[in-house]
């Protein structure tokens, strides 16, 4: 049956999720939390994969209080450590029969120059390599159906910083630019999604990407804390014009994860001015994100750096 076109898609349009399991990284706060709560409201069993388990437990209690009958689970996961990613994947595999929705949401933004436990630049290592490894390690738990989804959260910031410099991913050869480094990590999220979709079987699951627009979250506040006083003052003045509540920011992720009409390789974002606010729709990413040769190079390099090889 042809699905009706919805121009103002909301969480009320999420189909019944009873009997389905969703794992959401970074689900203790912001858009990750709102994504988990919305899916739980529709009946999904949600796994909050978080670095800080105390905050994860508090978020789980908040979901239980808001959603009668919900039983969220907390899973420790530090995406900046490949050992933690492997441990988390092993624990998930030992506990859950399948993961219907894998939502790669967690991330760091505009951080000072620092490195992951494995020596990678922090933003690229956490935002891309950690999720790349997690997806590869859990892929065979995701049912081969188009109702199963792998949704990776990118950002409008993927356009910042130009193409990825594959010869200097760790910024050894250039002065560190945290804005460009963040942009590269979010560009990598998109390139990973598009290449993953080509490698998945026709029967599914589907790989999609989404971005929240300007979401007023703790992540955006923390990012601004690293900026100059002048920048913080200017941003505070325009914040209401550019940012929307986390529940609205979660809608593109939720639509990519749950809309029956969504197709593999699509990218969802807000429909408003400059994709900063509004209800979700399919949007276009930068020309650099569609570079097939760069996507394949990133994939091969990511397998080499993480030691995680996807099923062929």
Distances 4 to 25, 191, 250 between C-alpha atoms, Å:
31, 30, 22
Which of 182, 194, 267, 268 is labelled catalytic? Answer: 182
Which residue blocks in the chain are alpha helix, DSSP H? 30-41, 53-66, 82-95, 122-124, 131-138, 178-199, 218-225, 229-242, 246-249, 251-258, 292-306
Q: Can 268 be counted among the known catalytic residues? A: no
User: Is residue 26 a contact partner of residue 50, using CB atoms and an 8 Å limit?
Assistant: yes
SS3 299: helix
Distances 229 to 64, 202, 220 between C-alpha atoms, Å:
39, 51, 15
Q: What is the dihedral of CA 167, 171, 177, 179, to 10 degrees?
A: 70
User: Is residue 300 a contact partner of residue 293, using CB atoms and an 8 Å limit?
Assistant: no
Backbone angle region of 204, left / alpha / beta, with phi > 0 → left and psi within -120 to 50 → alpha: left
């892929």: which residue's tokens? 139
- CA 303, CA 278: separation in Å to the nearest integer? 36
Show the tokens assigned to 169: 């991913």
First to last CA, the chain: 33
- CA 298, CA 264: separation in Å to the nearest integer? 19
Task: State the chain's maximal CA–CA distance in angstroms.
Answer: 55
């219907």: which residue's tokens? 100
Q: What is the set of active-site residues? A: 182
């Amino acid at each position: 049956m042809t699905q009706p076109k919805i121009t103002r898609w909301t969480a009320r349009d999420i189909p019944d999720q009873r009997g389905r399991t969703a794992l959401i990284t970074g689900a203790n706060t912001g858009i990750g939390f709102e994504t988990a709560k919305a899916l739980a409201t529709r009946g999904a069993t949600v796994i909050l994969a978080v670095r800080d388990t105390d905050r994860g437990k508090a978020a789980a209690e908040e979901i239980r209080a808001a959603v009668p009958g919900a039983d969220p689970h907390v899973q420790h996961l530090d995406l900046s450590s490949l050992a933690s990613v492997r441990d988390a994947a092993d624990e998930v595999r030992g506990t859950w029969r399948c993961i219907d929705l894998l939502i790669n949401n967690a991330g760091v933004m505009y951080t000072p120059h620092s490195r992951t436990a494995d020596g990678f630049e922090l933003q690229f290592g956490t935002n891309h390599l950690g999720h790349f490894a997690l997806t590869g390690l859990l892929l065979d738990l995701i049912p081969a159906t188009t109702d199963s989804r792998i949704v990776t959260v990118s950002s409008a910031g993927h356009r910042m910083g130009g193409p990825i410099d594959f010869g200097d991913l760790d910024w050894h050869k250039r002065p560190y630019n945290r804005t460009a480094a963040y942009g590269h990590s979010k560009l990598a999220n998109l390139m990973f999604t598009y290449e993953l979709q080509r490698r998945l079987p026709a029967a599914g699951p589907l790989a999609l990407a989404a971005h929240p627009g300007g979401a007023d979250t703790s992540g955006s506040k923390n990012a601004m804390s690293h900026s100059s006083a002048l920048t913080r003052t200017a941003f505070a003045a325009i914040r209401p014009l550019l940012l929307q509540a986390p529940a609205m920011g979660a809608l593109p992720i939720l639509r990519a994860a749950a809309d029956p009409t969504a197709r593999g390789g699509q990218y969802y974002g807000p429909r408003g001015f400059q994709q900063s606010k509004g209800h979700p729709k399919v949007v276009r990413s930068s020309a650099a994100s569609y570079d097939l040769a760069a996507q394949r190079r990133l994939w091969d390099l990511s397998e080499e750096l993480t030691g995680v090889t996807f099923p062929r």
